[in-house]
Structure 1
């Protein structure tokens, strides 16, 4: 008997809880969980992960739009380039052997875990990000309440959105670990607007990747549907507890967990060579 239909919503629930408690970056553990517990190759786990990210990020983006903190023009601009490169990543993931993909994914997790830990450390000790750097190219025009667009701003957002889309298709990650730091570095938006805008980008890119995978026959709906619904339920539960439990200390714990998963993935990838 195939128990994956019962296991996948539980995995999704766990991923959703992580997303609700730690932010959209919690979804980056979707693929490792599917690889280790359901024994899926990265190429099969990636579209399933994208379906959960698309659904969960879409709900978060709609809430941000309702609260008028989502910069929808910036989100649409970044997502446009992400959608162009996401199918290329999906195409490549179907042709690259599983072992190199595992190693590449583990390197991504190492990067994310170290960045999250440093970010939490800075927050705990009150160290500002990008201290001494020049003003960002994308500045908020307070008189209009909109971003003032220029060529350096467009170039920075275009590159960030494209990179997020490529990694999204290749590894099944949402790309929030690219989008959020980019918006922090290249804009002066408040953090709540950055998170909402990032969710908008992720919802479009992951949604496009999910649709492309379904059309090409690479999405296992039997696993993807309960996984995505479980992730959405977990996200809503996590957001309910997030005010009391979330914070930089929890981010540090999550970063350590991500680092351990990265070690496990690279060992699995090396053993598969």
Structure 2
């Protein structure tokens, strides 16, 4: 019972970050399950992947109601990602524990660097520029901060072209494999790529990412469950807290200054990555 309560309380925090940043929460849950709950590496990634689905669905629904997502991008990305998620699970099951955790640490560190870089480059004032920009993706979005691209104008003008479909599919394929392999939803891969490759505004990238996560994680979870790698008790306990937490996080998207949050969370992720590596090499054992 004590473990259940702890997992549920921690899940609230995971859910808030999931809904706010567009992640499934795996970059937090994998090290937590590994270091805090003592699960084996494969069980940590499998249980994380299981918990990601209800967490992401909760955040996705709230983002859809708030109109802070682009569902068709998320759907295409998720469908292609779903094809590679089982391949990632297969690779994880034939990999040694240290390799899975090493890849997880690299993904977390990459996420930290990406978030910190975006935070440093973004304007200090949360409101950003008031200039409008009604052009579709691919027209100088890289020269604008995410706050300078009106979300409604982007949604209204966005149209899939063969090139954009190819980019979206490539993002999904990469995110899907990493999702199955290290037990993350792939949001920390997709969000920065949505922004840089597709020109999606940050406030839409989070909700769009959760749409993709809901789809691409499903095949991996089914495979991990059939292999007996999922710790359902801990996963369900975490989901009890993460589901309402994701709703809160989705509501906070337009209220919390992105720059401050990204700097704080990037530092947190960097520490998690270091601790994870030190634990695997036996320094913290």
Aligned to 1:152: 163
Superposed CA offset, 1:151-191 (max 9, x none): 32122111100111101000011111121122112223433
Deviation of 1:146 (Å): 5.7
Given the alignment, which residue of 220, 223, 228 partners 1:212? 223
Map 1:55-204 onto structure 2 (within 5 A).
55-124=54-123, 130-131=142-143, 145=156, 147-204=158-215
Q: Does 1:226 align with 2:237?
A: yes
Aligned to 2:136: none
Superposed CA offset, 1:84-117 (max 9, x none): 1101111111221111211111111111111111
Distance 1:159-1:26 versus aligned 2 partners, 3 A rule: same
Task: Report the 3-state secondary structure (helix = DSSP H, G, I; strand = E; otherwise coil) of the residue aligned with 1:50.
Answer: helix
Distance 1:25-1:258 versus aligned 2 partners, 3 A rule: farther
Aligned to 2:132: none
Superposed CA offset, 1:17-65 (max 9, x none): 3334555375421111111111112211112212222112112222333
Does the Cα contact within 8 Å between 2:114 and 2:192 map onto a contact in 1?
no
Distance 1:248-1:233 versus aligned 2 partners, 3 A rule: same
Deviation of 1:231 (Å): 1.3
Which 5+ residue runs of structure 1 have no aligned equivalent?
Answer: 133-139
**How many Å separate the matches in 1 of 2:211 and 2:228?**
26
Aligned to 1:136: none
Q: Does 1:258 align with 2:257?
A: no
Superposed CA offset, 1:123-162 (max 9, x none): 1457997339xxxxxxx9x799363322321221111001
Which structure 1 residue ranges, 4+ long, deviate > 4 Å from structure 2?
20-23, 125-129, 237-246
Deviation of 1:248 (Å): 1.3
Which 5+ residue runs of structure 2 have no aligned equivalent?
Answer: 130-139, 145-150
Distance 1:47-1:253 versus aligned 2 partners, 3 A rule: same
Aligned to 1:16: 15
Distance 1:188-1:166 versus aligned 2 partners, 3 A rule: same
C-alpha RMSD of the superposition: 3.0
191-200 or 243-252, which moves further after superposition? 243-252
Deviation of 1:217 (Å): 2.5
Does the Cα contact within 8 Å between 1:46 and 1:172 map onto a contact in 2?
yes
Does the Cα contact within 8 Å between 1:12 and 1:52 map onto a contact in 2?
no
Aligned to 1:248: 259
Does the Cα contact within 8 Å between 1:19 and 1:25 map onto a contact in 2?
yes
**How many Å separate the matches in 2 of 1:241 and 1:150?**
32
Aligned to 1:33: 32
**How many Å separate the matches in 1 of 2:278 and 2:63?**
39
Q: TM-score, normalised by structure 1?
A: 0.84
Does the Cα contact within 8 Å between 1:106 and 1:265 map onto a contact in 2?
yes
**How many Å separate the matches in 1 of 2:3 and 2:243?**
18
Distance 1:92-1:3 versus aligned 2 partners, 3 A rule: farther
